[in-house]
Amino acid sequence: MLNMRNTTLAAAAFSALMATSAATAASTADIDRESAQALQMLYKTNPTAEMLSHHAKAILIFPNIVKAGLVFGGAYGEGEVVGESAVKGYYSSFTASWGLQAGAQSYGYAVFLMTNKAVRYLHNSKGWEIGVGPTVVVVDKGVAKNLSTTTLKNDAYAVIFDQQGLMAGVSIEGTKITRVKE
């Protein structure tokens, strides 16, 4: 009985998170402003991200992802892809999960698309699930130490930033990125 109650509460919390996210969908002007601010902050605090930006064909930026969970969880945010100093499209990021988890947090992430193949995959797919398709390397402190212009060999590099809240860890594995209508 207690398990059923916890499952029902978790499902209700997850549903509320997703309904709130959909109801507060940002305008394209808001996404543009927040993405530009997030990238500026990221470059000031992470020299590796700035180096990646100079070599990337495009940057997929999600300035604010909200994640919540109690056994069942989810994360949602909106962002854009920028290439050649112009916005090339707007996207949503959604992750669902279950397991040992409780809490809420927010974070942002940027995916530096290093090849034309990765950019085409993003634009042509009906939804990109991270972990399927182009190779994405999450840049943490260990990876950052070994990255240089001569070692950039993967299709995409992801940098997670600005983590706040009461959940431990962030993973973008299994995240579904989908183009949204503008």
Task: Give pLDDT, residue 2.
Answer: 43
Nearest of 113, 107, 112 to residue 161 by alpha carbon: 107
Task: Give pLDDT, residue 141.
Answer: 59
Residues 172, 124: Cα–Cα separation, whole Å: 21
Cβ neighbours for 178, distance < 8 A, ≥ 6 positions apart: 91, 92, 94, 126, 127, 128
What token pair was written down for 78? Answer: 């909106």
Residues 127, 110: Cα–Cα separation, whole Å: 17
Task: Give pLDDT, residue 22.
Answer: 45
Global pTM?
0.78
Task: Give pLDDT, residue 76.
Answer: 96
Q: How many CB atoms lie within 10 A of CB 116?
A: 11
- What are the residue ranges spanned by the domains of the chain? 2-180
Task: Give pLDDT, residue 72.
Answer: 83
Question: What pLDDT tens digit does each residue of the chain (182 aa) get?
Answer: 444 444 444 444 444 444 444 444 679 999 999 999 999 999 999 999 999 999 999 999 999 999 988 878 899 999 999 998 789 999 999 988 877 777 888 999 999 999 999 999 998 888 888 777 777 877 865 555 555 555 577 888 889 898 888 765 556 767 899 999 76
Residues 68, 75: Cα–Cα separation, whole Å: 7
